[in-house]
Structures are given as C-alpha cells and as structure tokens.
C-alpha cells in the first residue's frame, strides 16, 4: 500500500487507475483505526476495484473546548492496519494541504436544517467543518463511492444531503455499526474511558434496546425518551440528548408514527463523550 501526503501524488496514483477504467471506493477517517474502520474498508473493497482511505484529524469540525489536541494520532499503526486489509492507497494530508488558505479562511460548506438538531445543536459548527472537509476530500479523490459508518448516523445523513444538493457524482454507502461483544459501539474515543467507565459504557446500547422494546409496547415516544434519559442519568451518564427521530430526516415523529424511526443517544461518561444509535424497525 502506498501512502501519499500531497495532492499531486494522490492525483497521479488515481489517474493511473482511472486510465485503466478501474472504479475507486473511498473511506474517509480521522485515523486511530479499529475493527469498525476495517469493516468500512472491507465494504469498499467489495464494491470497488480500488480502495483509497484518508486519515486526517480535521480541525474545523472540533469546537474550541473539544479534543482536537488530544485526539489519538497513530499513523504508523494505521498504515499497517490498512495494508493488512488490502487498502490500495492512504491519503494522509497535513492541515496546510487541506486548507491552503488556512482553516479560518476556507470556503465552507453548510448543509442547512438537518444540522440544526442533535449533534449539530450540541457541537456548533461541527457539521460545517465535517461537510467542508468531506466535500474537499471528494473533490481530491473523486471516488465512485464513499463508505460512511452508521455509528455517526446524523453525519451520514448530512453527507447524503450534501451529495444530492451539490450533485456530487459519488454514491454514499452506509456501513452497519460494529460493536464490542458487550454491545459498546467501537470508537476511537473509547480509549479515553477508564476501566470502571468502560465496564459501564455498554449501558448506552442496552438503553437503546430498551427504547425499542418500550416503543414496541406502545409507549409514546416522548415518554420513552424521558425514561431512557433518566436511566442513563441514574447510572452516572450526562446525556446531551436521548432522542427518537425519523431516520429519513431526523425530524420528530408524528403522533402514533412507528415506521422508519431511529433512537439516538449522546452522553458523557466522565470526560468522554459517546454517541450511538439503533434503528427501531
């Protein structure tokens, strides 16, 4: 597997494949790769003839009090993991390559409405930064398809909207959430958890399952949200949101609406912010 850090080298590698008529699948990441990322690479591998991954900790999607500085950067291990999973090319740019005029003077992509709620409401500016960097990466890599994990469910919806609205020629492929045996969704941020917190963290997935059960029993969605939030709070979590929404547009369900819903949670456990979600159909 080749690693490239600048745009001319990236373009040269991809041009070679394109002239042979090969299709390109793309997996954008922030690195510190785990089995969840590997499953995305595997999906891209199955759907395209060539696979490109990127590792870039994007400064514009972190708020001023978030973990940009301490976000784990493990490029050497990431290279080995990607090579092992048959990735063809790693694009690992620096900030100046992605933001030639500096992050604060960059063109910005804003996806309205769907970004006002949930993660967008709790992480102001996060989705502008995310959509901007994903749009830039799509322009640089020009993939036929790009794989995103459903763990970041709202992110996936924002990217789908951006692609449709801007008419970008990329097929967005959604990958299922990979979990540890005890149900905790794999995430780079899980390593911030202390041993005792790690043991408590699966309660998020357990609570999402409980929400599905309660909704199936006919409880109103608002009551299910409240019960679930209280359950997490009793166990020492500080929820940012515990929500039942339409999967399609993340709007609140109508009275009695039961089809096509998703439950989403973001909660802090000590100094770690965890997110997860579960389809309710």
Please say if 37 is a catalytic residue: yes
122-141 residues near ligand PAF, rule: CB under 6 A = 130, 133-134
On whether 256 is known to bind a ligand per the annotation, the reply is no
Residue 156 CB, shortest distance to ligand ATP, in Å, is 7
What is the contact mask toward ligand PAF in residues 184 to 203, using x (rule: CB under 6 A)?
Answer: --------------------
Tokens 């690195």 label which residue?
A: 31
Size of the site for ligand ATP (CB under 6 A): 18
Rule CB under 6 A: choose which of 78, 119, 128, 152 binds ligand ATP. Answer: 152
Tokens 């690992």 label which residue?
A: 92
- HSE, CB side, 13 Å, CA atoms: give it for residue 145: 21
On whether 36 is known to bind a ligand per the annotation, the reply is yes
Classify each residue of 220-253 as buried b or exposed e, where b means 16 or more C-beta atoms within 10 Å of its C-beta. ebeebbeebbebbeeeebebbbbbbbebeebeeb
Cα distance between residue 252 and residue 255, in whole Å: 9
Residue closer to ligand ATP, measured from CB, 99 or 153: 153
Binding of residue 192 to ligand ATP (CB under 6 A)? no
What backbone phi and psi angles, to 5 degrees, belong to 133? -70, -35
Q: What, of ligand PAF, ligand BAL, ligand ATP, none, does residue 134 touch, CB below 5 to 8 Å by kind?
A: ligand PAF
Catalytic residue among 37, 85, 126, 205: 37
Q: Between helices 35-47 and 75-84, what is the axis angle to 10°?
A: 40
Structure-block tokens of residue 212: 């599905």
What is the contact mask toward ligand PAF in residues 139 to 178, using x (rule: CB under 6 A)?
Answer: -------------x--x-----------------------
Which residues make up the interface to ligand BAL (CB under 6 A)?
61, 152, 155
Cα distance between residue 138 and residue 122, in whole Å: 26
Positions annotated as catalytic residues are 37
Residues that bind ligand ATP (CB under 6 A): 29-30, 36-37, 39-40, 148-149, 151-152, 175, 177-178, 185-189
Which residue ranges make up the annotated binding site for ATP?
30-37, 149-152, 178, 186-189
């Amino acid at each position: 597997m080749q690693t490239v850090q600048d745009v001319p080298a990236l373009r040269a590698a991809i041009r070679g494949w394109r002239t042979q008529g090969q299709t390109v699948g793309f997996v954008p990441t922030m690195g510190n790769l785990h089995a969840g990322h590997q499953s995305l690479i595997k999906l891209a591998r199955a759907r395209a003839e060539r696979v490109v991954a990127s590792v870039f900790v994007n400064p514009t999607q972190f708020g001023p009090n978030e973990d940009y500085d301490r976000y784990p950067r493990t490029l050497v291990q990431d290279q080995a993991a990607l090579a092992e999973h048959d990735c063809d090319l790693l694009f690992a740019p620096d900030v100046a390559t992605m933001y030639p005029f500096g992050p604060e003077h960059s063109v910005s992509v804003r996806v309205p409405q769907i970004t006002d709620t949930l993660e967008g409401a709790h992480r102001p500016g996060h989705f502008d930064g995310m959509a901007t960097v994903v749009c830039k990466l799509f322009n640089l890599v020009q993939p036929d398809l790009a794989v995103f994990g459903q763990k970041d469910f709202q992110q996936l919806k924002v990217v789908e909207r951006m692609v449709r609205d801007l008419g970008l020629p990329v097929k967005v492929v959604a990958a299922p959430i990979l979990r540890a045996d005890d149900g905790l969704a794999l995430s780079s941020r899980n390593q911030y958890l202390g041993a005792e917190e790690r043991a408590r963290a699966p309660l998020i997935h357990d609570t999402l399952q409980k929400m599905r059960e309660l909704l199936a029993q006919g409880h109103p969605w608002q009551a299910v949200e409240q019960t679930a939030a209280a359950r997490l709070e009793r166990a020492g979590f500080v929820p940012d949101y515990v929500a039942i929404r339409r999967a399609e547009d993340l709007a609140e369900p109508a009275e009695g609406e039961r089809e096509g819903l998703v439950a989403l949670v973001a909660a802090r456990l000590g100094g770690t912010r965890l997110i997860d979600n579960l389809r309710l159909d």
